[in-house]
Amino acid sequence: MGSTVETAVRPPSYSGPVEWLRRNLVGTWYDTLLTLLSLWFVFVALRGLFAWAFFSANWEPVTGSLKLFALGQYPQEDMWRPGMIVLTVSFLMGVSWRVWGGTVRTFALALAVALGVVAALPVEMRLPLRLWFVANPALVGLGYLVGWSRVVRSRWVLLGWILSFVATIILLNGFKGVSWLPKVDTAMWGGLLLTFLLALVGIVASFPIGVLLALGRRSSLPVVKVFCVLFIELVRGVPLVTILFMGSIILPLFLPDGVRIDRVLRAMMAMTLFAAAYMAENVRGGLQAIPLGQVEAAKAVGLNGLQTMALIVLPQALRAVIPAIVGQFIALFMDTTLAVIIGLVELLGVGKAILNSKPEWLLLDTEVYVFIAALFWVFTYSMSYASRRLEAALGVGER
Amino acid sequence: MTTGRPSLPALFTRRGVPLWRDVQVLQWAAQIVSAIIVIGFLAFFASNVLRAAQVRGLSLGYDFLDLTAGFDLPEGIEYTPADSFGRAFLVGLVNTAKVAMVGIVLATILGTITALARLSSNWLVSKIASVYIETVRNIPLLVQLFFWYFAIFQQLPSVQDSITWPGPMYLSQRGLYTVAPVTTESFGTWMAFVAAGIVLALALRSMLLRHQMQTGRDTHYGLVALVVLIGMPLAGWFLVGEVPLVTDDPVMGEFNFTGGLRLTPEFAALLTGLVIYTGAFTAEVVRAGIQAVSRGQFDAARAVGLSSSQTLRLVVLPQALRVIIPPLISQYLNLTKNSSLAIAIGYADVFFIGKTIINQAGRAVPVFSMVMAVYLCASLTTSVVMNIYNRRIQLVER
């Protein structure tokens, strides 16, 4: 940039609500017409929506099955396990907020506020559950305070997240024969818990595979390259449903007799392979964005190929694709609904099951699906909002 | 390499580098090892399948395609349960193509209108468009399809109290009944008029355009071509004698409508869901394309004296389309792949029928390979087309 940049003064902008109206709504006769038509449309739509939601809709199947929506058929006496997991996440969120700041703050605050609001709702709720809701925002705060300590470093927080992921799986699954942590069959996992778990496992497990595939695709070894390209293009060329069906119908045929893989695990494997192909393309985008000069400089200071990749290229490339990975996580989160087609009881599956559970609820599809859609919307919209801020924070000039 | 040390036998070294540090040897070793791993995995799977095939009497061939299917299909091209599995698969293929093509056309229209609304200077119109986009993009497609099918189309009134729309269109639990166009004997002759109109219009347009280029006089080439394009079929309609196209209205019988064109609720729900979902993504693609053309291009075009329609046609669109078309094509591909969700609501697309064949004939592996081949062909064709297009626009680039 030049040394002196003359800052042009913006011409005085419009002022006052009247001027704003003139500019944005009633500038010309057809603008006015459009505005009136839109106003009428908004009015009719909102009136219809409110009249339906508050007067004619029967929300009984939703309000009566909140536990099912949250956890599926996870045993009542073991509900403390997912509860503990969310508490851990709250605490780690608080710590990350202090240590990493930026966008994490949005996530942490959103989590604390959302659960705090639920805790304050004037509805009938058992005391332990209400206490649990109160405990979450408190733990976010506690984590934030702990984050002040000098001992807590970025890498420790990262390690905490990784450990908590492993602990989550162990805690949910339990062990056979252990009295205080009995095994919970994956057929019992369901609802929002399963939705999140499928998406998280998919994205976490696909990450290393995706990185390897991306490196393989850019490799100078023709055999490796061909295998990687074939895998990536094959998986990206077919819809996710076909891959899920492969996992649920074909995979058992491909395994030796006697080897059985759990149904939820097969769905996770399918999701992982699917996500890995897309992850590979994301990472490849990041690798391509690294200027050749970086590699040459690394060679010049005497790093070998492996070191160049691990210490110079990958860290920069992965940093550049974080927004893309978050975007992929959001897409995968929405794609988990497809698991209902192979008979898993995630959020949408719970909705279907609830509708069939009582004859008088059979025709309440609208209420149930609108609730599920709203739930997805809240999660996805807030995640993509945070992801846009993350993109801006990582953004231009850094790369 | 230290010189004093006696070197290894020549067999083990090349250019004085020991074998385990020779880049070429290492590369070959890596390739062979990875090939062995991949082929080993494939062989392991294949041997398991073959053994399972032997033990459970599973057949891996494609000979079943000629066997009688024996199941009925709700919709599609001509088919009876006495037809073969191959024919049933073909029905599914046509149904997938049908929903994909209609969906692509409608989604493009919806997306373009939404993008223009989103860019409108009218605050309210722009806000409505962005609320639509943000709502639809953040709700999973399958949830939307469930909503359309189970909450809307399944809960329509019974066929006796159909909702009547002008058209005439009748909407009920059995789907949408509307007018079907029926060709008569003179249709072929009339089509000749239509074709002649198109050819003549194109020829006239290019002739007049050349004339205008040479003389600078306005020849109204667009208007003339349009008149010919509409005039010829119109003249033909009256000249061929018998009316070439008649309508077949659906008539309410005792229990159901007869005649007319019927869209099943499954097709209607899938189409609605796909169009509304893809329309939102298309809108964002189109908007990005239009915004990619810088303001200066408009001003420059106006400064050299182009009219506003010329500005749009000659300056803005060619540049915007270059940005729009590649992502647009991948949206079309997404729509086609997403149409496989038909299985959740029971529309007889290629995946649904493939699943039915697996249930009936038990040939999971061959049927699956066929279904996947269909989608793979679609995406490979798309990427070939996209590469050709990208190469063409690259030539134009400065």
Any residues with CB less than 8 A from the CB of A25 and at least 6 apart, and which?
A: A31, A32, A35, B122, B123, B124
- Which chain A residue lies closest to B363 (C-alpha atoms)? A250
Q: Which of A177-181, A271-275, B300-304, B351-355 has the lowest mean pLDDT?
A: A177-181
Question: What sign results for the dihedral spanned by CA atoms A373, A375, A379, A381?
Answer: positive
Q: 10 Å Cβ neighbour count for B163?
A: 11
In whole angstroms, give the CA distance from residue B128 to residue B120: 11
Say what the pLDDT of residue A34 is. 87
Q: How far apart are the CA of A155 and the nearest CA of chain B, in angstroms?
A: 33
Alpha carbon of A319 to those of A158, A325, B121: distances in Å? 15, 10, 38
User: Do residues B225 and B202 touch, judged by C-beta distance below 8 A?
Assistant: yes
A53 inside 8 A of chain B by CB: no
Say what the pLDDT of residue A125 is. 77
- Where chain B has pLDDT below 50, the residues are 1-4, 6-8, 10-11, 397-398
- Computed on alpha carbons and rounded to an integer, the radius of gyration of chain B in Å comes to 30
- Chain B CB contacts of A221 under 8 Å are 27, 30-31, 34
Contact at CB, A255 and B48, closer than 8 angstroms: yes
If one looks up domain B85-155+268-396 in CATH, what number appears? Answer: 1.10.3720.10
Phi/psi-derived region of residue A16, left when phi > 0, alpha when psi is between -120 and 50, beta in every other case: left
Selected residue with higher pLDDT from A262 and A1: A262
B128 inside 8 A of chain A by CB: yes
Contact at CB, A335 and B140, closer than 8 angstroms: yes
The DSSP symbol for A360 reads: G
Task: Give the highest mean pLDDT range of A22-31, A186-195, B176-185, B264-273.
Answer: B264-273
Q: A with B: how many residue pairs have Cβ under 8 Å apart?
A: 154
Quick one: pLDDT band at residue A42, thresholds 50, 70, 90?
very high
Q: What are the structure tokens assigned to A226, written together?
A: 């061909």
Domains of chain A with CATH codes: 60-75+184-399 (1.10.3720.10), 79-179 (no CATH)
Calculate mean pLDDT across residues A241-251.
Answer: 89
Domain parsing of chain B, residue ranges = 85-155+268-396
Longest dimension (CA), chain A: 78
Selected residue with higher pLDDT from B165 and A2: B165
Q: What are the structure tokens assigned to B94, written together?
A: 């046509």
Quick one: pLDDT band at residue A12, thresholds 50, 70, 90?
low
For the segment A304-333, what is each residue's pLDDT rounded down to a tens digit? 888 999 999 998 998 888 888 888 999 999
Contact at CB, A237 and B375, closer than 8 angstroms: yes
Contact at CB, B139 and A41, closer than 8 angstroms: no
Say what the pLDDT of residue A1 is. 43
Q: How far apart are the CA of A186 and the nearest CA of chain B, in angstroms?
A: 23
Contact at CB, B341 and A222, closer than 8 angstroms: no
In whole angstroms, give the CA distance from residue B279 to residue B118: 13
Longest dimension (CA), chain B: 106
User: Do residues A298 and A176 touch, judged by C-beta distance below 8 A?
Assistant: no
**ipTM of the predicted structure?**
0.87
**Strand ranges in B135-222 using DSSP code E only, listed in sequence order:** 163-165, 169-172, 175-178, 180-183
3-state secondary structure of B300: helix
Q: What are the structure tokens assigned to A351, written together?
A: 């909705």
In whole angstroms, give the CA distance from residue A194 to residue A271: 13
Of B48, B154, B344, the CB nearest to A341: B344
Calculate mean pLDDT across residues A326-346.
Answer: 92
**What helix, strand, coil percent values describe chain B, rounded to 5?**
70, 10, 20
Q: How far apart are the CA of A233 and the nearest CA of chain B, in angstroms?
A: 9
Q: Establish whether the linkage from the previous residue to B181 is cis, with ω within 30° of 0.
A: no
Is the confidence at residue A399, as pLDDT, over 50? no
- State the DSSP string of A286-339: HHHTS-HHHHHHHHHTT--HHHIIIIIIHHHHHHHTHHHHHHHHHHHHHHGGGG
Say what the pLDDT of residue B4 is. 47
B62 inside 8 A of chain A by CB: no
Say what the pLDDT of residue A75 is. 86
Which one, of A391, A381, A379, lies nearest residue B131 by Cα?
A381
User: Do residues A365 and B155 touch, judged by C-beta distance below 8 A?
Assistant: yes
Quick one: pLDDT band at residue A281, thresholds 50, 70, 90?
very high
Length of chain A: 399
In whole angstroms, give the CA distance from residue B137 to residue B114: 13
Instruction: List all residues of chain A from 353 to 372 with a beta carbon under 8 Å from chain B.
Output: 355, 363, 365-366, 369-370, 372
Which one, of B371, B160, B380, B344, lies nearest residue B252 by Cα?
B160
* Percent of chain A topping pLDDT 70: 95
Is the confidence at residue A2, as pLDDT, over 50? no
- Chain B CB contacts of A376 under 8 Å are 138-140, 143
- Chain B CB contacts of A222 under 8 Å are 31
For the segment B167-204, what is each residue's pLDDT rounded down to a tens digit? 778 888 888 888 888 888 888 888 888 999 999 999 99
Instruction: List all residues of chain B from 299 to 318 with a beta carbon under 8 Å from chain A.
Output: none
- The dihedrals phi and psi of A398, each to the nearest 5 degrees, come to -80, -35
Calculate mean pLDDT across residues A37-41.
Answer: 92
Say what the pLDDT of residue B126 is. 92
- Which chain A residue lies closest to B351 (C-alpha atoms)? A242
Helix (H) or strand (E) holding B251: strand B251-252
Placement of tokens 């599926």 in the chain: A72
For the segment B346-396, what is each residue's pLDDT rounded down to a tens digit? 899 999 999 988 888 878 888 989 999 999 999 988 888 888 887 777 655
- The dihedrals phi and psi of A10, each to the nearest 5 degrees, come to -65, 135
User: Do residues A171 and A85 touch, judged by C-beta distance below 8 A?
Assistant: yes
Selected residue with higher pLDDT from B134 and A127: B134
Say what the pLDDT of residue A398 is. 43
